[in-house]
């Protein structure tokens, strides 16, 4: 049973517009959430994270929003650029040492110029 | 500083054989985790090692094993390879094994024929 779900396998956006990637989770013990970006034949690269004590975190063009009551988080990319085209993974952990990162299955973002 | 290094990058093995993959973490990182990525299942946690001890294990058969050396380098072994073991195997290191500081390597692409 998937604890982290990314229900949209793909998303297409035009350059300069906003990209919104969504993620839902079921485990209320998760207290730390991360977004990773992955290009083919490379490992995931950390993008941005958020602790459960916050509801928003920004880093340049990337903002992550967390709605704990809905067990939902989203990644906003503004403005989107062609170089943002990649697979985006949402991940969650319980924050304790040794616990695994639980990943969603990813959303492939395509940004067209 | 050097990132997480995984060797080899690509590997082709025959069904029934065994394989060993290697991971050198970022200097100073004591935790190493292994993940399997397949198109259908996304990234799935295999196991995590900290100071030469396995602290956590995912839901994989006993054919998958690992170890960590005193210099924090880690190896994972898969015995009696099956076609379904074909995947990208990713190693991630972090200072202490919490979700906050994971850095991934580029992975080893294993193909079982």
Length of chain B: 113
Q: Is B94 on the interface with A (CB under 8 A)?
A: no
Confidence of residue A41 (pLDDT cuts 50, 70, 90): confident
Give yes or no for residue A26 having a pLDDT over 80: yes
| pLDDT above 70 for A1 | yes
Nearest to B99 among A43, A95, A104 (CB): A95
Question: What is the SS3 assignment for B83?
Answer: helix
- Chain B interface includes A82 (CB < 8 A): no
Q: Is the pLDDT of residue B38 over 80?
A: yes
Residue to mutate among B39, B43, B104, with most A CBs inside 10 A, is B43
Alpha-carbon distance values, A4 to A1, A103, A107, B89, B104 (Å): 9, 6, 12, 20, 19
- In the numeric block, which tokens belong to residue A69? 């009551």
Contact A21, A38 (CB under 8 A): no
Mean pLDDT of B102-112: 95
Interface test with A, best of B99, B101, B103, B107 (most A CBs within 10 A): B99
**How far apart are the CA of B108 and the nearest CA of chain A, in angstroms?**
9
B101 pLDDT higher than 80: no
Percent of chain A with pLDDT over 70: 97
Cα–Cα distance measured from residue A65 to residue A56, given in angstroms and rounded to the nearest whole number: 5
pLDDT band at B34 (very low <50, low <70, confident <90, very high): very high
* CA closest to B108 among chain A residues: A41
Is the pLDDT at A98 greater than 70? The verdict is: no
- How many other β-carbons are positioned within 10 Å of the β-carbon of residue B29? 20
pLDDT class of B100 with cuts at 50, 70, 90: low
Strand, coil or helix: what is A42?
A: coil
The beta-carbon neighbor of A98 closest among B4, B42, B56 is B56
**pLDDT (0 to 100) of residue B1:** 60
Looking at residue A42, its pLDDT comes to 86
């Amino acid at each position: 049973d998937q604890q982290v779900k990314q229900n949209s396998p793909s998303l297409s956006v035009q350059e300069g517009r906003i990209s919104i990637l969504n993620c839902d989770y079921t485990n209320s013990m998760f207290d730390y959430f991360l977004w990773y970006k992955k290009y083919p034949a490379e490992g995931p690269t950390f993008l941005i994270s958020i602790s459960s004590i916050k509801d928003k975190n920004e880093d340049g063009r990337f903002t992550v929003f967390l709605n704990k009551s809905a067990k939902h988080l989203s990644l906003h990319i503004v403005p989107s650029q062609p170089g943002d085209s990649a697979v985006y993974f949402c991940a969650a952990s319980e924050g304790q040492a040794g616990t695994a990162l639980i990943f969603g299955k990813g959303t492939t973002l395509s940004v067209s110029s | 500083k050097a990132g997480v290094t995984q060797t080899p990058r690509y590997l082709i093995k025959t069904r029934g054989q065994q394989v060993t993959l290697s991971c050198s973490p970022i200097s100073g990182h004591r935790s190493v985790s292994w993940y399997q990525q397949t198109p259908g299942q996304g990234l799935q946690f295999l196991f995590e090692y900290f100071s030469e001890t396995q602290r956590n294990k995912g839901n994989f058969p006993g054919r998958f094993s690992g170890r960590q050396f005193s210099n924090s380098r880690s190896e994972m072994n898969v015995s009696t390879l099956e076609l379904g073991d074909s995947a990208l195997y990713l190693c991630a290191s972090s200072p202490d094994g919490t979700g906050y500081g994971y850095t991934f390597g580029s992975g080893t692409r294993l193909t079982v024929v």
